[in-house]
């Protein structure tokens, strides 16, 4: 079953613009992660935010977490054509008892040069 739901499903922007993707989830979590996937290849970990954190930065990435609303957002600033990919949020299942990740359906980002 899908825990996270990303919004929007698809996003098309121009190079240099900012891209914001949102994720909502259903159950309590210990942490939330964002991954990127290029064209049906493997996923690449971008950033992890713990349930007691509200905001985290990594380079051009900014992630926020609102546990009261069970939602997170990923902001990519000054986007580049190379950022074109699908982005997934992933949460640990059932409080992390099994260590597996539950992914949403992803947001497909297209950055046009």
Residues that bind another protein (CB under 8 A): 1-2, 4, 30-31, 33, 35, 40-45, 48, 88, 92-93, 96-106
Name the CA dihedral angle for 108, 110, 111, 113, rounded to a multiple of 10 degrees: 160
Q: Which residues of 78-91 are buried (b: 16+ CB within 10 A; e: fewer)?
A: ebeeebbbbbbbbb
Q: Write down the least CB distance from residue 85 to another protein, Å.
A: 13
Q: Write down the least CB distance from residue 65 to another protein, Å.
A: 15
Q: Write down the least CB distance from residue 76 to another protein, Å.
A: 19
């Amino acid at each position: 079953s899908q825990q996270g739901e990303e919004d929007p499903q698809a996003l098309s922007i121009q190079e240099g613009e900012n891209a914001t993707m949102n994720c909502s989830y259903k159950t309590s979590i210990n942490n939330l992660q964002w991954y990127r996937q290029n064209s049906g290849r493997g996923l690449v970990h971008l950033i992890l935010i713990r349930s007691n954190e509200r905001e985290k930065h990594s380079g051009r990435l900014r992630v926020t977490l609102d546990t009261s609303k069970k939602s997170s957002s990923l902001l990519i600033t000054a986007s580049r054509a190379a950022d074109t990919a699908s982005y997934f949020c992933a949460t640990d299942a059932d409080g992390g008892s099994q260590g597996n990740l539950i992914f949403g359906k992803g947001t497909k980002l297209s950055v046009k040069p």
